[in-house]
Each structure stands twice: as structure tokens, then as C-alpha cells.
Structure 1
Amino acid sequence: MINEHCSQSTSLRVLLVGDARMAFPVAKALNQAGHWVFAGVSTSSNYLEWSRHVAASFRHSPLEPGTDEALPVILDWLDRTPVDVIQPVSEAGSRFITRHRAAFEARARLIMPEAETVETCMNKTRMFELCETLGVALAPHRRVRDMTGLHAAAAAIGYPLIVKPAVVDAELFERKALIIADAGQLAVAMPSWPEIHPELIVQKYVAGPRHSVIFSADQGRLLGAVEIKAARTHEYDGTGYTTYGVTVEPTHLVREGVEKLVAHLAYSSTGCAQFIVCPTSGEVTFMEINPRVSLGRISECAGLPHSVWGLKLATNQAITAPADPWAVYRRGVRYVWTKGDLTLLGKQVKRGQVRPGEALRRLTQIGVDAAQCVHAIFDPLDPLPALGAYSNILIKRWRRRPEYRPDWTPVSRVPTPEPVRSDPDWTHSSARG
């Protein structure tokens, strides 16, 4: 394991943007490394503001479903409380920062890849073309723009197949993707074209778990990577967010694909590359690269200090990385998002999709995993956020609604000094003012 904690010579002020489970390991790692962590939170927050690793927080409107109502509040807070670095910690946060990148870059460094890299990664069509050029494992696919093209692609590729948006993190009928078994199911699942999508991707369905590679890279040089197999997700068909995962030995085609893509993109920052690996045939297919932090809890516990590395990359600090970026992490580290497991089981029981005996068996397994695995949110030394998340149904009515107040003054456990610069050439809006 590489220990980057407490190696910083200066304490930086970091703002986390986005309400997501990914925020908790980032806040913990950066706070333990000696930095001040601040958070913008909304009523959909997983109680990040209750974490002992967050020095102060402020409220804003939810970033979902992609609105910009929170922008004036966040910018006003930044102007009143300067920070050194800003990091998006959710899908919505990443999209939000990307839409207003210039405004945020004028106020602080960003822990995310360059704008061109983000744009490429967010476009699945371009990434699929890149995979074909570089020889990265990819199942047969077609791009379609209407129902005629959809049915033609289905006939050419054959069933089962998967239909998904051409944009990373977008949804199709409130799902990440649609797994289609036959023509009858296609007619039911997609009776008409979803006007919100100018283009969709139809691809051969490869049966198997999703393998996510959490990585850090500097100008295309891979610094460290962790491969995680998702054994369960919060959707019954394997799509959706990981609820149970385990770190595994690198899969050859996955490792090769990540290295080729990271090098070609000259990727700098942290990220998450996703593949599907069939456990019987060994077939592998690329899914996407999310240019943001993801599955941070398990990767941090497995030995990849990607939160600290992301901060160092953003502030031009040196990183001592191993010769083999795949050799640093522990195999067999298990991760669980218990609330996601329980939510899915509850929905299936309510709909009559699970028999009582099977429900009891799964509930028992969820309990065993909860006692033995690394948790998405729960930390015995920082328990309040998890208590809030599980008791939300009882206390959410008392949660203060966000409101924009131009005269708002932050209440913090720490003073508000001028930000500490990580290099003498970094200009900041407040310094220029």
C-alpha cells in the first residue's frame, strides 16, 4: 500500500460539489491528509454535512435533474469563502461543473481532466470509435437515430442486445440502459423514439458482471489502478450502481484497454473505466469512461490513494508512483452499499417478484455482507451521515430547504483565511481583485 497521507507541506481548502456516496471517502482522505474540506449540499444529500471530515457546508438547490438553479449560490459562496480546489463528486456535479467550467476555473483549480478529455469521455460514440482505432475490446454495435435504424440494427446484431444513450451518465426511460431479449420485448420497451436522445447505441449484449477500474493518471501515464467486479447492483438486471463489489486480479483485456485509452487521451486526474466481462466465455467489451471519482471507498481501502493523488495532480505536486500501477492494491477487498440492496429487495417484494423464502435468504446475505464489508457511507468513526441516511424517512421533513440569500454568511468550524497556493504562478480571482 502507498501512504500519501500527511505528506502535504501546506493545507489546502477544497470544495466538494455534488450529493453522492462518492463524496465520503474523498472528504475523509483529504481531511486526514491535513486539508480543509467544505461541501455544498442539497435536500437530496446523503448527509455529507454531518461528517466529521467536513469543516463547513452550505445549502443550495439540487443539481439534479440538470438545472442551474444552484449556480448563483455556489458562486456567491466561493466569492465570499475562497478555496484552492474544487472537486465534483457525483454525476450531476461533474455535468454541472462542466457546463460552467470557466466560472469555476476563474475561482479555483479543478480536480477533473482537461475540458477536451471530459468532452471525449462523455461521448460514447467517440469513445467506441476510439476503441476500434486502438484495438480495445468492444462488442459489435451500431449507432441509430430513429426507430427504423433501431430495428435494422437489432436485426443485424441479433438478440439479446442492449440499447443505451450515446452520452455518458444519461438515462433511457429512467434506466442506464435497456437489456432486450427479443423483438417482442423491444416493442414493449421502446414503442416510440425518445425525443430527448438524438442518437442511441445498439450493441450485442455480453452477459456478465461490470468490471470498474478506478485509476489515477498523469498526462497519459497510469499511476495506479484498481479493478472492481460488481457482483450486485441496485437494478435487478445488473445495470445501475454497484451494491456489492470486490477487488480482483486485473483482467488482461481490461488492463490493456485502460492503458491504451489513458495514454491516447493523455488523461490527467482520476477516473473510472468500465467493462463487461463474461465469466464463462471470457468475452470482454468496453462500456465507458466516467471522468470523475467513483467507487472511492473500496479503492481507498484497497490501497489506491486516488483522492490525494487527484488533489496533487490538480495542484502540480509531485507523486511517487510504483513502476507497476496495477501492483499497489489489495485483492479481495469487498464493498457494500447496504441501502441500495435493501431498496431493491423492498421494491421486488412489493411487486411480488421475489418469493418469501428467497427474500429471507437475500436479506440474510445482505446482513452478513453489512457486517463483513467496507461500506459506501457507514464509518464507525464517522457514523452520523449513515444514521441520517437510514433515518431519512423520519427526519426529512425537518431538513432545512435550500434558499438563495445574497447576504448569507458562512458558519464554519475553521477561520476563512486567504487560500494557500500550491505554486507561485497560480492566479486566483480574489488575488487579482
Structure 2
Amino acid sequence: MKENVLVLGNFRQTVTVVRSLGRSGYRIIVGRDKLKSFTELSRHVSDVWCYNGDNRLQFFKDLEAKLKTLGPRTTIVFPVGEFSLERMAAEAERFKGLATFVMPDPAIVARCLDKRATHELAAKLDVPVPPTVESFDREKWQASARTFGLPLVIKRASSFTPVFGEKAFIAKNEQAVKWFFDNVASDPEPNALLLQKFVKGFRHNCHFAAVDGKVAVYFEQRVLRTDSLNDSGYGVEGISVTPSPKLREYTERFVAALGYTGVGCTQFLVDDKAGSAYFLELNPRLDATCALPYQCGIDFPRLAVDCAKIRAGLTPTRVLASPKSYVIGRRAAWIVGDVFGLLNAVNHRKISALQAIGWVGKIILSALRNRHHITWDLRDPLPTLYLAGERLGSGLGNRFSFLRRPVSIVDKASE
């Protein structure tokens, strides 16, 4: 009998999870809320479980009933994104014995999802972090802003809520700084905001699989572009790079200190000219671009399941089977996300006509030079085709608004 894998979370990495585990012989069940999930269209999906995501208590009740019908011996639950991961970590005891959950220890998950906690750990481990001030205090932050200088970065301690519509609000001029302090009172969680000194560099995603606090598999990529002009957004183009001894060592320090078993991703900003590397965050989950290592020969979704079985004591060995090396210089693009990022910027008047034209050129170049893609697979085309139609359709309504309306001071915050 095939083992069931109930996949929770509809993200771009979800389709990689579905394809990887489907090809490995698992029976895939996609869990989704009311809206149709693009991943459920994969040819590797055997069943779809619909739930009410708006009601947290009802979700847990329905999940418990679902797991009891599937049977604990043949069921694996794979929370893919941070939202479902946080939910499952918070209620781990309730579901103990009902299934094998693909995630690190719940206490580790909670710690990693709070940037304040990981920054504190980084300081103890002597891992560099950009100068940071926590918990909004107007006078203290204004003084720190003068000390840090421009640009300034404002982000949230968790990734669940954006900062004025962005993953990170980057103020590159005095107008943007003034706008932030004038409008911060409208933020839903000002005490959860972090003020950081801006540091230059490319974002490096360091994917890993670890057992008992030791890194067993490591993969490093450089994010070349994101879906936001301020580079704080989601990666839309990346390349596999030779592992950096420094970044691997930093990652190993975190993994050892946490006693980590599972997959995860540390992120750093790397400035090649200055020779510096600053820690950004530690995600206790698959990275959104895990399709790139998958295409380079390292199957992190499968490794995540193997780690979960090790944690649950379901396998006699505590060793992960995976290649120790991978293809260097392989590129991958997320064209759908790239185009949607452009349309989003246009519709919200965040860019000028000239910037939009330049962005279109980058998308065309990316499509031409990248043979590998984050969601597209010729053998399994329907998920990406549906996602493209859904996202592009929602973004085309006001596609020419930037031609007739000026860019506002608010939107210039990222310029």
C-alpha cells in the first residue's frame, strides 16, 4: 500500500513537493482552502482535501477527522508554507500519533519564525547581522535612523504580515523616512517592526538537510533578481553557486545550536567586493526555490520526508542518502512571478513607464536564457498554465494606469 502524503499550503514550492514525492511512489493528497489550488492540477495528485482555513479551530477538528480516516501508519502531513507550518507546530501535541509531520521540532519552528529570536541566536554564535533596532520607539528609531544613514530597512519580526505592502519597506530618501514615521501609527503591529541598517549584496539562499544538529546536505544559490524593484521581494531568477565555506559554517552553527533535524534554509546578504556576509533569516521549511536544487540533483522534498521519519523513529538509520555535490552555474527563473510582479508594480504606481519597459526587457531576457523554471515542467504543464492564467488575469485590469497617473511619494519610498 502506498503511503499517503497530505500536502498543506499552495505555494510555488508545493508543486515541486508534489512532483518529487509523486515520482517517488507516494500517494499525494493536496489540502486546500475554498479557492482552487494550482497544485491540485498536477498529474501526480491523487486526491484533494478541502478545508475551512478561516476558522482555525474548525480546521484542526477537520484535520483530526481526516487523519483518523487515513490511518497513522500510512499518512505523512507536509506543511509547506510558514502559515500551515506555524499552525501545525502550535498544535503538535494534539496530532501526535495520527501522522508523521514533515517539519523540525515545534519549538525550533516557533523560534525560527521570529526574526528577533534568530538575531539573538546569531549574536551568540558570532554570525554577523546588520545593525538592528527592535520594537518601535519613535525617538529611539529616529536617532538610530540618523546613525544608520540612508537607505533604511523596516521589516517585521515574522513574515506573516507585510510592511506597507512589501516584504521589507526600504526608505532610500528623506521623503520616504518622513512618510514612514508619519504613517507608522496605522501599522497593525508596530512593536513587531525591526529597523535595520541597509547592507549591500546579493541574497544567498543556503538550503540544507540536517540530522541531530549536523548538516548532511547543503546547496547554495544566489538570487539574481526578485519581483520587487527594491530587491526585498520573492526571487524570480537565481543560479546555483559553489558552496561558500563561510556561509556553510554559519549555517552549521545554527543547526548545531538548535539540534536541528529536518530541512531548512538560511539566508544571507553577500557583498563580493567588501567580502562581507550578513545573516537575514532562518526558514524552518523548504525554500520557495527548491525546484532549482531539485533540477541540480538534490531532492529536498524527499529529504524532508526522510528527516521526518528519522525524527519519528520510523527508520533504522539516521543517515540521509543524497549526492554531496551538485551542478554549479545552473539557472532557474519564475516567469509567472516576474510578470505578476511587474503588473503589481504598475497597478500600484510603484514604477514609471521607463522602469516598466526595462523590466519587460529583463523578463524577455530571463525567458530566453533560462532552460529551467521554478514551476514549469513540460511533463506536468497544467499547474503552471493555470497559475499563469489566474495571476495574469488578476493583474491586467489596470495595466496602463502608470501612463496616466504620476508616481506618488508613498511609492517612491522604494526608489
Q: Which TM-score applies when normalising by structure 1?
A: 0.81
Matched, 1:303 2:303: no
1:341 corresponds, among 334, 338, 343, to 338
* 1:383 alignment partner in structure 2: 381
* 1:404 alignment partner in structure 2: none
- The amino acid that maps onto 1:58 is W
Unaligned runs of 5+ in 1: 1-9, 397-433
Q: Give the conservation status (yes or no) of the 8 Å contact 1:335–1:375.
A: yes
Distance 1:25 1:140, change over 3 A: same
Shift of 1:45: 5.0
Distance 1:51 1:228, change over 3 A: same
Determine which structure has greater relative contact order: mean sequence separation of CA pairs < 8 Å that are 6+ residues apart, divided by chain length: 1
Matched, 1:16 2:28: no
Matched, 1:135 2:126: yes
* 1:144 alignment partner in structure 2: 135
Q: Give the conservation status (yes or no) of the 8 Å contact 1:20–1:89.
A: yes
Q: Distance in 1 between matches of 2:8 and 2:59?
A: 11
Q: Distance in 2 between matches of 1:319 and 1:376?
A: 30
* 1:215 alignment partner in structure 2: 208
> Which deviations, in whole Å up to 9, do the C-alpha atoms of 1:19-70 show, x marking residues without a partner?
111111111111222211211023445411111111111222347xx95554
- The amino acid that maps onto 1:73 is D
Between 44-53 and 303-312, report the one with greater CA deviation: 44-53
* 1:367 alignment partner in structure 2: 367
> Which deviations, in whole Å up to 9, do the C-alpha atoms of 1:340-377 show, x marking residues without a partner?
111122344554523275355234214314xx332222
Shift of 1:263: 1.0
Q: Distance in 1 between matches of 2:379 and 2:153?
A: 42
Q: Distance in 1 between matches of 2:76 and 2:232?
A: 33
- The amino acid that maps onto 2:215 is L
Shift of 1:319: 5.6
1:240 corresponds, among 233, 237, 242, to 233
Q: Distance in 2 between matches of 1:151 and 1:25?
A: 44
Distance 1:374 1:169, change over 3 A: farther
Shift of 1:174: 2.5
- The amino acid that maps onto 1:289 is L
Number of residues of Structure 1 aligned to a counterpart in Structure 2 = 381
Q: Give the conservation status (yes or no) of the 8 Å contact 2:86–2:110.
A: no
Distance 1:158 1:391, change over 3 A: closer
Shift of 1:73: 3.3
Shift of 1:321: 4.7
Distance 1:45 1:299, change over 3 A: farther
Q: Distance in 2 between matches of 1:70 and 1:167?
A: 22
* 1:417 alignment partner in structure 2: none
Q: Distance in 2 between matches of 1:340 and 1:378?
A: 12
Matched, 1:188 2:179: yes
Between the aligned residues of both structures, percent identity stands at 25
Shift of 1:18: 0.8
1:271 corresponds, among 246, 249, 264, to 264
Unaligned runs of 5+ in 2: 395-415
Between 245-254 and 215-224, report the one with greater CA deviation: 245-254
Q: Distance in 2 between matches of 1:309 and 1:393?
A: 31
Q: Distance in 1 between matches of 2:3 and 2:14?
A: 17
1:224 corresponds, among 217, 220, 231, to 217
* 1:289 alignment partner in structure 2: 282
Q: Give the conservation status (yes or no) of the 8 Å contact 2:298–2:323.
A: no
Distance 1:270 1:69, change over 3 A: same
Shift of 1:160: 2.0
Q: Give the conservation status (yes or no) of the 8 Å contact 1:84–1:108.
A: yes
Q: Distance in 2 between matches of 1:241 and 1:308?
A: 23
Q: Give the conservation status (yes or no) of the 8 Å contact 1:46–1:388.
A: no
The structure whose residues are more often helix, as a share, is: 2
Q: Distance in 2 between matches of 1:47 and 1:373?
A: 22
- The amino acid that maps onto 2:380 is D
Q: Give the conservation status (yes or no) of the 8 Å contact 1:44–1:62.
A: no
Q: Distance in 2 between matches of 1:321 and 1:79?
A: 29
The 5 A counterparts of 1:189-204 are 189-191=180-182, 192-193=184-185, 194-204=187-197
Shift of 1:235: 1.4
> Which deviations, in whole Å up to 9, do the C-alpha atoms of 1:224-251 show, x marking residues without a partner?
1111111111112101211111111123
Q: Give the conservation status (yes or no) of the 8 Å contact 2:86–2:109.
A: no
* 1:420 alignment partner in structure 2: none
Shift of 1:101: 2.3
The 5 A counterparts of 1:55-70 are 55-62=46-53, 70=59
Equivalent position SS for 2:141 = helix
- The amino acid that maps onto 1:256 is E
* 2:326 alignment partner in structure 1: 329
Q: Distance in 1 between matches of 2:299 and 2:234?
A: 22
Q: Distance in 1 between matches of 2:393 and 2:120?
A: 48
* 1:314 alignment partner in structure 2: 308
* 1:78 alignment partner in structure 2: 67
Shift of 1:283: 1.9
Q: Distance in 2 between matches of 1:254 and 1:45?
A: 39
Distance 1:200 1:312, change over 3 A: same
Distance 1:360 1:230, change over 3 A: closer
Between 292-301 and 210-219, report the one with greater CA deviation: 292-301
2:110 corresponds, among 113, 116, 119, to 119
Shift of 1:393: 6.5
Shift of 1:168: 4.3
